[in-house]
Chain A
Amino acid sequence: MTVSIVRFGGSNCDRDAERALEYLGIDAEIVWHEDGLPADTTGIVLPGGFSYGDYLRAGAMAARSPIMAEVREAAADGVPVLGVCNGAQVGCEAGLTEGAFTTNESARFQCEHVHLRVERADTPWTAAYEEGEVIEVPIAHGEGRYEIADDRLADLEDEGRVLFRYCDADGETSPEANPNGSKHAVAGVLGERDTVAVLMPHPERATLPDIGPTDGQGVLCGFEQ
């Protein structure tokens, strides 16, 4: 009964995720990618960071490491998988979720607190919230602009696979409240199953009360059995 946090060369939010999960009473351990997934894995975090120095494209190298075949298999079997920031880029590159996270519209690294609107509250990652609820979490990325063909995005929206959108404090989306220029303000999406989610903002950095808002706790509670 352990959540495996997959550490690649260059991951740097793996310990944040471990501490946040442990704070919530969820057993978690960091797993070096070359060691493969432990047999008792009951959930998987693809953590933030700069795996392989963002060479080629953010997440491109890690997405093609052998452990990701195991992650895809586990995801298909219903094991909860959460990709955060660089982990979201890895998830998209690995085909766990659709679309791509690419260079911010500003062409700058953005490090700030943002508001997110919960688009669906009937998934493991959002069961702690109400639909339409606005939560505050930090972002820290240079390549977080969600990009996807218009027709595919329409399909994702029809299928209810947009999980979070950037918005203002009142829950309204606007260009000003969209920190990276993501298409339709998408901040996080679901995979083929609701148990697979990726998002650019950092729920694990909004979990411990000592360091600020704790709105991210609900996302990590998706790993509770």
Chain B
Amino acid sequence: MYYGAKAKAFLSTVAGYQVMTAYTATVTVRLKRGVLDPEAETTAQALERLGFELEELRSADRFEVDLEAESAEAARERADEMAERLLANPTIHDYDVEVAER
């Protein structure tokens, strides 16, 4: 459900009434710098065979998570935990999270 900013500010003053906002959290998971990425190397070679000039190619996985949360910060925290516990493997991956209202 969509609430205008004023309505949301009012509702949030009502005891026990939590206004949820719809967000999309985008989690990007990529290999740490220095970790070999054979699939990216193979892809870069294929691009070169097609005649493209390039120096290096890096690949990453992007997860778009639709969720509802009390605030952008709460949405980010939840997406962070998703990355920590499943989406990324801290041994080989770095990740970042971006949150936008939808």
Contact = CB atoms under 8 A, between A and B. Distances in A.
A105 B36 contact: yes
Contacts of B41: 107
B36 A181 contact: yes
Interface string B1-45: 000000000000000000000000000000000011111011000
B38 A106 contact: yes
A56 B86 contact: yes
- The binding surface of chain A is classed by DSSP as loop
B99 interface: no
Contacts of B91: 92, 98-100, 147-149
A180 to B, nearest CB: 10
B47 to A, nearest CB: 15
Given A103-B38, A104-B38, A107-B39, A147 B86 contact: no
Interface of B: 35-39, 41-42, 85-87, 89, 91-92
Contacts of A64: 85-86
Interface string A51-80: 000001100100010000000000000000
Contact of A147 (B39, B42, B92): B92
Contacts of B92: 100, 102, 147
Contacts of A56: 86-87
A202 interface: no
Contacts of B36: 105, 145, 147, 181
Interface string A97-115: 0111011111100000000
Interface residues of A, number: 20
Contacts of A14: none
In this complex, the member of A57, A145, A148 whose beta carbon has the largest number of chain B beta carbons within 10 angstroms is A57
Nearest to A107: B38
A45 B13 CA distance: 56
5 contacts: A100-B91, A100-B92, A105-B36, A107-B39, A147-B35
Contacts of A106: 38
Given A60-B89, A64-B85, 6 more contacts: A56-B86, A100-B89, A103-B38, A105-B36, A107-B39, A107-B41
Task: Give me the 10 closest cross-chain CB pairs, A-B, nearest first.
Answer: A107-B38, A100-B91, A107-B42, A100-B92, A103-B38, A147-B92, A100-B89, A107-B39, A105-B38, A102-B92
A93 interface: yes
In this complex, the member of A60, A102, A148, A149 whose beta carbon has the largest number of chain B beta carbons within 10 angstroms is A102
Contacts of B38: 103-107, 181
A105 B38 CA distance: 6
